[in-house]
């Protein structure tokens, strides 16, 4: 605990922090029996069973205030131009953050088989990176964007007005209580919201009902290649679960394939964790470039006395993401894309 306190007070150099994070990644692989197929499978099966008894998403208030009601200005200072709060794509490794955002959005376009004149639902729309991109590229499509954050809705609506986009509707709703007309969408797309979800069976059933008969679901998640585990909030080692990912889940690359009752997998793609490592390192670099303005925004959010500690917590969060996804050169944790059609 003292070590974490020292880290949060900025007393530990980044290189040492990153070394410590890599050791925690190794510990996680040991704890989850990453090298013992039979034991890992037992844990996987138990958690899979438990997920069926949970709400669609849990601890939604905590998750919302941890990230999604932090002022958009903070994310404008750290993220790329599209405010994409999820892994970007670095096909050569030399892309800028803005180029990598665009590259990932183009990949969604191809893999989700987006086209003009579609009704598209985006679940977990963030600050509108994909919603605004789709609305601009496909002016005859109608986009419904959903998230549980009021400030995200305000941001997207302001952007839509500024860019003259009239084909976007934003709904602020917890996905647990989201109720939409049956058979009303050609596409449902979701980028890094499913990590906040527990009961995939119920959510995928709901989505299948919202889709038209020839509709498709496209999902982007981060994942481990075989292991699935929740982010715990208790205990000394659970800094991430406590401050940044309460109620969150690390899905395995094949978790969603166990939930094909209503939707059937068409294709799955796996991307190296190095794409997320590069993204998180870019976010950290941006935060450091805007140090004084970041401190001012965080002071308004967390109070003057807590701003410096929270600025360092966010720096530690970006480093934790970079080291986790970069672990073993991106071959343990990574990103997965899926396209499902209705059964
Ligand atoms: C990691 S962000 C990704 C944002 C966006 N898709 C992007 O790529 O920039 C997760 C998104 O899911 C939303 N979300 C998380 N839990 C939710 C819930 N229970 N109900 C509705 N939206 C939720 C958050 O508000 C946020 O918009």
Which domains are assigned to the chain?
A: 2-342 (3.40.50.150)
Least confident of 19-23, 34-38, 125-129, 161-165: 34-38
104 CB less than 6 Å from ligand 1? no
60 CB less than 6 Å from ligand 1? yes
196 CB less than 6 Å from ligand 1? yes
Least confident of 92-96, 154-158, 233-237, 290-294: 233-237
Identify the residue whose tokens are 């109720």: 179
pLDDT tens for 277-324 read 999 999 999 999 999 999 999 999 889 999 999 999 999 999 999 999
Give the span between the Cα atoms of 230 and 247, in whole angstroms. Answer: 7
* pLDDT of amino acid 237: 61
175 CB less than 6 Å from ligand 1? yes
Span from the CA of 147 to the centroid of ligand 1 (angstroms): 6
What proportion of the chain, given as a percentage, has pLDDT over 90? 87
Cβ-contact 24, 16 below 8 angstroms:
no
Q: Which atom of ligand 1 is nearest to the CA of 60?
A: 19
Candidate of 147, 155, 275, 276 to mutate for ligand 1, largest count of ligand atoms within 8 Å of Cβ? 147
The whole-chain average pLDDT of the chain stands at 95
Q: Read off the pLDDT of each residue in 101-121 and give the average, rounded to a whole number.
A: 98
b/e per residue, 13-24, with b = 16+ CB within 10 A? eeeebbebbeeb
* pLDDT of amino acid 152: 95
174 CB less than 6 Å from ligand 1? yes
Position 233 pLDDT exceeds 70: no
Position 66 pLDDT exceeds 80: no
Closest-CA residue, ligand 1 atom 14, reads 124
Q: What angle do CA 74, 79, 82 make, to 5 degrees?
A: 115
189 CB less than 6 Å from ligand 1? no
Position 245 pLDDT exceeds 90: no
| Verdict on whether the full-model pTM lies above 0.75 | yes
Q: Read off the pLDDT of each residue in 82-101 and give the average, rounded to a whole number.
A: 98
What proportion of the chain, given as a percentage, has pLDDT over 70? 98
Candidate of 60, 87, 124 to mutate for ligand 1, largest count of ligand atoms within 8 Å of Cβ? 124
CA distances from 221 to 6, 32, 48, 147, 340 (A): 32, 20, 17, 16, 14
Candidate of 100, 104, 196 to mutate for ligand 1, largest count of ligand atoms within 8 Å of Cβ? 196
80 CB less than 6 Å from ligand 1? no
Closest-CA residue, ligand 1 atom 24, reads 124
* pLDDT of amino acid 81: 98
* pLDDT of amino acid 34: 85
* pLDDT of amino acid 240: 80
Position 216 pLDDT exceeds 70: yes
Identify the residue whose tokens are 């090298």: 35
Span from the CA of 13 to the centroid of ligand 1 (angstroms): 32
Closest-CA residue, ligand 1 atom 22, reads 147
Give the span between the Cα atoms of 157 and 105, in whole angstroms. Answer: 20
* pLDDT of amino acid 234: 61
85 CB less than 6 Å from ligand 1? yes
Please state, as a whole number, how many other Cβ atoms lie within 10 Å of the Cβ of residue 277.
23
Position 235 pLDDT exceeds 90: no
For the CA atoms of 125, 128, 130, 134, the dihedral, rounded to the nearest 10 degrees, stands at 120
* pLDDT of amino acid 227: 96
């Amino acid at each position: 605990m003292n070590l974490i306190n020292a880290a949060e007070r900025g007393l530990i150099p980044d290189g040492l922090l990153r070394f410590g994070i890599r050791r925690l990644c190794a510990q996680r692989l040991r704890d989850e029996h990453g090298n013992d197929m039979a034991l890992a499978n037992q844990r996987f099966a138990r958690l899979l069973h438990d997920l069926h008894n949970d709400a669609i998403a849990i601890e939604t208030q905590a998750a919302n205030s941890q990230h999604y009601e932090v002022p958009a200005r903070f994310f404008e200072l750290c993220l790329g131009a599209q405010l994409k709060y999820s892994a970007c794509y670095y096909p050569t490794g030399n892309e800028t953050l803005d180029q990598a955002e665009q590259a990932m959005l183009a990949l969604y376009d191809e893999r989700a088989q987006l086209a003009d004149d579609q009704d598209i639902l985006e679940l977990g729309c963030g600050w509108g990176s994909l919603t605004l991109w789709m609305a601009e590229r496909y002016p005859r499509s109608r986009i419904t964007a959903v998230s549980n954050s009021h400030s995200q809705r305000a941001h997207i609506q302001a952007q839509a007005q500024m860019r003259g986009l009239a084909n976007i509707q934003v709904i602020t709703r917890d996905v647990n209580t989201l109720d939409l007309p049956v058979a009303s969408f050609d596409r449902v797309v979701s980028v890094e919201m499913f990590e906040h979800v527990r009961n995939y069976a119920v959510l995928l059933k709901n989505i299948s009902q919202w889709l038209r008969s020839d509709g498709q679901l496209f999902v982007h998640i981060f994942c481990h290649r075989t292991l699935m585990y929740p982010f715990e909030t208790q205990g000394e080692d659970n800094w991430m679960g406590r401050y940044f990912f309460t109620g969150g889940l690390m899905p395995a690359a094949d978790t969603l394939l166990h939930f094909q009752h209503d939707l059937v997998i068409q294709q799955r793609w796996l991307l190296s964790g190095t794409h997320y490592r590069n993204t998180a390192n870019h976010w950290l670099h941006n935060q450091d470039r805007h140090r004084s303005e970041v401190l001012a925004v965080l002071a308004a959010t967390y109070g003057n006395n807590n701003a410096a500690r929270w600025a360092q917590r966010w720096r530690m969060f970006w480093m934790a993401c970079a080291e986790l996804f970069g672990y073993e050169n991106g071959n343990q944790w990574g990103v997965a894309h899926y396209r499902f059609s209705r059964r």
